[in-house]
Amino acid sequence: MGRQRPGAPTLEEVAALAGVGRGTVSRVINDAAGVKDSTRRAVQRAIEELGYVPNLAARSLAGRRADAVALVMTEPDWRQFGEPFFSEIVQSVGDALTDTKVQLLLTLVRTDAERQRLVEYARGGRVDGVMLMSVHAGDALPDMLAEVGLPTVLLGRRSGDESVTYVDADNVGGARSAVAHLLNRGRRAVATITGPLDMYVAQCRLRGYREAMERAGVEARRSWVAEGDFSQDSGHRAMAELLERSPEIDAVFAASDTMAAAALHTLRAAGRRVPEDVAVIGFDDFPLARRTDPQLTTVRQPLEEIGRTMVRLLLEEMEDSAVAWRHVILRTELVLRDSA
């Protein structure tokens, strides 16, 4: 059930100022019939004077819906929205909603002010649920949405103790299988380009790398780890850094296809052959992986299934607010091509 934040005007205060009952205020808010024009104007004046924002509970009591959900990217860098991951997720979520009456709204939230605006927008009943992607550790937005009773589903999670419903890929297992493949092919100086380590997805892929190295009895040297941010520029930068620090490396596991493709270019510019001198594996299996030279061995995460599952869980929570949060982790698959 939604509730007003501390200090916010209440439905009862609007009713008292307008000189009407609580039920009348609810009918005005939900544009119901049977309210005199003079009464409607009095309630609207009271709402404006108090700055009242109708909460989700008041809207649900009248059985009204916005028939809209928001897909929110919580990423401070606008450029990240151009990465293939986001377009793939938008397409899969949109496809999953095709046969419903629900409108999909896309929005980008970068600052605390934008977080608060989104919450106020949601409290006004303009959307029935929210899907969040690219959530960094410590982001309060999922909790803010839970506070107002809005059904919310995360793509990924903020930590291993996530309390909000989420859908995720098996990032640890996927990374572990990629690095194990490199080690099984005789590579021993295996480096990694991580994602931004304030994101749990990047932490998990790094953990999978380390677990595979440990299981094979190979020391994962600190100089073999370079941090990226899933972008092309960071892939170039991290690969150059690895070559400068550790010219002996004979394999690289990159935590995204975008960074892996950039690493291929940097290796070629440095005179390293792929896979003869340095084998490369990415993560995602975007169409990009089939356009690189050589084609990219990668870990496929089921983005279409992720999008469908997010939509299914969100619609179920919208139908029944008593549904407990769910955590869904989907399998990944190592796809072998020419780069490793």
What pLDDT sits at residue 6?
Answer: 47
Cα separation of 129 and 320, whole Å?
Answer: 12
Domain ranges of the chain: 11-61, 68-169+304-331, 171-300
What pLDDT sits at residue 35?
Answer: 73
What pLDDT sits at residue 66?
Answer: 79
Question: Which superfamily does 171-300 belong to?
Answer: Response regulator (3.40.50.2300)
Q: How many CB atoms lie within 10 A of CB 259?
A: 30
What pLDDT sits at residue 322?
Answer: 65
The amino acid occupying position 86 is F
User: What are the strands of the beta sheet with 225-227, ordered from one edge?
Assistant: 225-227, 190-194, 251-254, 279-284, 297-300, 333-335
CB-facing half-sphere around the CA of 258: CA atoms within 13 A: 17
Q: Do domains 68-169+304-331 and 171-300 have the same CATH topology?
A: yes
Question: 257-269 vs 84-96: helix axis angle to the nearest 10?
Answer: 150
Q: Three-class SS of residue 114?
A: helix
- Which uninterrupted H or E stretch holds 91? helix 84-96
- The answer to whether 100 touches 65, Cβ cutoff 8 Å, is no
DSSP code at position 164:
S
What pLDDT sits at residue 188?
Answer: 94
Q: Give the CATH architecture of domain 11-61.
A: Orthogonal Bundle (1.10)
Question: Which superfamily does 68-169+304-331 belong to?
Answer: Response regulator (3.40.50.2300)
Cα separation of 275 and 186, whole Å?
Answer: 12
Write out the chain's pLDDT in tens, 340 residues.
Answer: 333 444 567 777 888 999 987 667 766 776 655 678 888 899 889 988 888 876 554 454 445 677 899 999 887 665 556 677 888 899 999 999 988 889 999 988 988 899 999 998 888 888 999 999 988 888 989 988 888 888 999 999 999 988 889 999 999 999 999 999 999 999 999 999 999 999 999 999 999 999 999 999 999 999 999 999 999 999 999 999 999 999 999 999 999 999 999 999 999 999 999 999 999 999 999 999 999 999 999 999 999 999 999 999 999 888 876 677 789 999 999 999 999 9
